[in-house]
A and B are shown apart, each in its own frame.
Chain A
Amino acid sequence: MTTLPQSTEKKLGLVIDLDTCVGCHACVISCKEWNTSNYGAPLSDMDAYGAEPVGTFLNRVHTFEVKQENKPAQVTHFPKSCLHCEDAPCVTVCPTGASYKRVEDGIVLVNESDCIGCGLCAWSCPYGAREMDAAEGVMKKCTLCVDRIYNENIPEEDRVPSCVRTCPAGARHFGDFADPESNVSILTAERGGMELMPEQGTKPVNRYLPPRPKTDIEQIDILAPLLTRQPEETGGFLGWLDRTLEKL
């Protein structure tokens, strides 16, 4: 069914900390690795070793620069994947029912054996979260690593989405937004977690924690003490030699 559920028991999603993300793209690579070899069709690359390689990715990191007049620019790395919207337009446009939102946890998934590859869901998504796989002709998207988070065959600490598990900066958090006491709900409340393009009316579940406005911090030159030579006060024989030679 491609009508959306009235409500979901859980609202699983991600919090992405734009203040912490260092833009290393490790989440992009670990996402591709996990999802090309597990749930559904592999994430193909076309012309991988040629002049114009293109490929399917479920997660991509953009880098933006924000600038106020007469102030230095601030750079923010911006990972982007499916936001598992509550009012997901990609679900209702699907003519086959392949695109659906799960009642139990709110994850938006594609049943690839029903997907006809019309691409309408990708058109309807304002965030560019869906990519048609050029080799398989079916729509691919973030599954929140549905084959990891409930997987009892892997160690418990690995039962989070691959991108969250791999992030070396700890910029990605996974949890249930329906639970006000969950890590993601608390982070969102405390740090003012943002919705992307709320005017599109999609009610995204994932939240982004805003970066601190670095340009407003008073400029402190942390290298200054190191760059001006301070008179050295060395003790012992070398200190005596230094002082004596100075006097000559």
Chain B
Amino acid sequence: MHPAPSVIIFTALSGLGFGMMVFLGLGFLDVSGWVAFVFVAVAYALSGGGLLSSLFHLGHPERFVKALRQWRSSWLSREGILSIVTMAVFGIYAVMWIFTDVRNPALGSLAAALAVVTIYSTSMIYAQMKSVPRWHSPMTSVLYLLYGFAGGALLTAQVTLAGWLMLALAVVQVVTWVQGDGAFAKTGSDMGTATGLGFLGKVRLLEKPHSGTNYLMSEMIHVIGRKHIMKLRIIALTLGSLIPAVLLLALPSGHVLGLVVIMIHLVGLFAQRWLFFAEAEHVVGLYYGQR
């Protein structure tokens, strides 16, 4: 799949923002007033910024309100509604926290629960795609949730918790890659089933339908950069979770270290999201003799 920057930024940043809301809503981080305001502002900048970025991916961003209608069937629609509701509920909680120094536990827990469901619905936009076997797995949701939790814990200064979550993330990330590598073969889809010609022998593409490229090929058959996949996986794994985990658990905590770990985690997170799209193969590639 084509790793569009707008979608990479959307999933990465909104995951972090809603991850922060989970911990702030559950009453973690014992601060108040201006300090609380800064944390709330960061959570909003990340979640809101991510959502705004996703609009740049649309052919008609001015019609985005229409996307809130089909919550009965569409995960994208659910994600849109849930993120708005989450931000609204968290907003009430945050205003009370900042101005009256009251952290309403009921309201906070509700906001935290909504934030979890929002991250889950983001993951389901991808996990529902049967046509993209690597994504079509519960592991996609586990991964998105853990990235949200680990990043959220890190950004709300939950040093030890963030360290352990980063370790869990590293394990889940490796499991997801191993499982994902065999996902396409498990579907049973090949050029034989795609064309129905499998009963005649081994199928190969003799001629493409056109001399150039097309929307399908540029959007769903992304082969550029796949040769660097192992290097990028190592970067995503070490910077995204392993090094942050070691630094958080082994070194004495402090603001400078926190900032360094956040930067390292961000680089790893973006590498992971780039891979998430670039590595994913769509079955339509079978009609083009590519994956």
Interface residues of chain A, those whose CB is within 8 Å of chain B, are: 1-3, 18, 28, 52-57, 60-68, 71, 74-76, 78, 80, 89, 91-98, 114-120, 122-128, 131-132, 134, 136-138, 194-201, 208, 210-211, 213, 215
Supposing A65-B204, A126-B130 touch, asked if A95 and B283 sit within 8 A by C-beta, the answer is no
Chain B binding site: helix, strand, loop or mixed by DSSP? mixed
CA distance A96 to B57 in the complex (A): 15
Are B209 and A60 in touch, CB under 8 angstroms? yes
Chain B residues, Cβ within 8 Å of A119: 57, 59, 219
Chain A residues, Cβ within 8 Å of B215: 54, 56, 122, 131-132, 134
Supposing A53-B212, A137-B59 touch, asked if A64 and B191 sit within 8 A by C-beta, the answer is yes
Are B197 and A123 in touch, CB under 8 angstroms? no
Are A62 and B67 in touch, CB under 8 angstroms? no
* Residue ID in chain B nearest A78 by CB atoms: B195
Contact code string B187-219 (vs A, CB < 8 Å = 1, else 0):
111010111110111111111111011111001
* Residue ID in chain A nearest B209 by CB atoms: A60
Are A116 and B287 in touch, CB under 8 angstroms? no
For B131, give its contact among A55, A74, A89, A98 (CB under 8 Å).
A89
CA distance A19 to B220 in the complex (A): 30
**Range for the number of chain B residues in contact with chain A:** 35 or more
Most chain B Cβ neighbours within 10 Å, of A53, A115, A119: A119
Supposing A75-B206, A117-B60 touch, asked if A126 and B283 sit within 8 A by C-beta, the answer is yes
Are B205 and A67 in touch, CB under 8 angstroms? no
CA distance A71 to B202 in the complex (A): 11
Chosen A-B contacts, 26 in total, with CB atoms closer than 8 Å, are A1-B72, A2-B72, A54-B214, A60-B214, A61-B209, A62-B287, A65-B206, A78-B195, A80-B209, A91-B73, A95-B77, A96-B67, A115-B63, A116-B61, A118-B57, A120-B74, A122-B219, A124-B130, A126-B131, A128-B287, A137-B60, A197-B189, A197-B194, A199-B188, A200-B189, A201-B130
Are A194 and B196 in touch, CB under 8 angstroms? yes
Chain A residues, Cβ within 8 Å of B77: 95-96
Chain A binding site: helix, strand, loop or mixed by DSSP? loop
Supposing A114-B66, A123-B220, A138-B60 touch, asked if A197 and B72 sit within 8 A by C-beta, the answer is no
Chain B residues, Cβ within 8 Å of A92: 73-74
Are A198 and B193 in touch, CB under 8 angstroms? yes
> What's the nearest-Cβ distance from chain A to residue B224, in Å?
16
Are B210 and A60 in touch, CB under 8 angstroms? yes
B171 in contact (CB, < 8 A): no
Are A2 and B74 in touch, CB under 8 angstroms? yes
CA distance A96 to B219 in the complex (A): 21
Contact code string B52-88 (vs A, CB < 8 Å = 1, else 0):
0000011111011011111011111100100000000
Are A80 and B287 in touch, CB under 8 angstroms? yes
Are B203 and A127 in touch, CB under 8 angstroms? no
Chain A residues, Cβ within 8 Å of B195: 62, 64, 76, 78, 196
> What's the nearest-Cβ distance from chain B to residue A188, in Å?
13
CA distance A78 to B195 in the complex (A): 8
* Residue ID in chain B nearest A62 by CB atoms: B209
Chain B residues, Cβ within 8 Å of A94: 70, 73-74
Chain A residues, Cβ within 8 Å of B57: 118-119
The 5 tightest CB contacts between A and B, nearest first, are: A117-B59, A137-B59, A60-B209, A68-B201, A128-B284
CA distance A28 to B210 in the complex (A): 11
CA distance A75 to B283 in the complex (A): 22
Are A67 and B61 in touch, CB under 8 angstroms? no
Chain A residues, Cβ within 8 Å of B194: 196-197
* Residue ID in chain B nearest A55 by CB atoms: B214
Supposing A95-B80, A96-B69, A124-B129 touch, asked if A66 and B201 sit within 8 A by C-beta, the answer is yes
B1 in contact (CB, < 8 A): yes
Are B203 and A199 in touch, CB under 8 angstroms? no
CA distance A123 to B61 in the complex (A): 18
B32 in contact (CB, < 8 A): no
Chain A residues, Cβ within 8 Å of B204: 64-65, 67
CA distance A211 to B196 in the complex (A): 10
Supposing A65-B203, A128-B216 touch, asked if A199 and B189 sit within 8 A by C-beta, the answer is yes
Q: Which of B264-290 contact A (CB under 8 A)?
A: 282-284, 287-288
Supposing A61-B209, A96-B70, A196-B196 touch, asked if A66 and B203 sit within 8 A by C-beta, the answer is yes
B16 in contact (CB, < 8 A): no
Chain A residues, Cβ within 8 Å of B207: 62-63
Q: Which of B240-262 contact A (CB under 8 A)?
A: none
B125 in contact (CB, < 8 A): yes
CA distance A56 to B201 in the complex (A): 32
> What's the nearest-Cβ distance from chain B to residue A8, in Å?
17
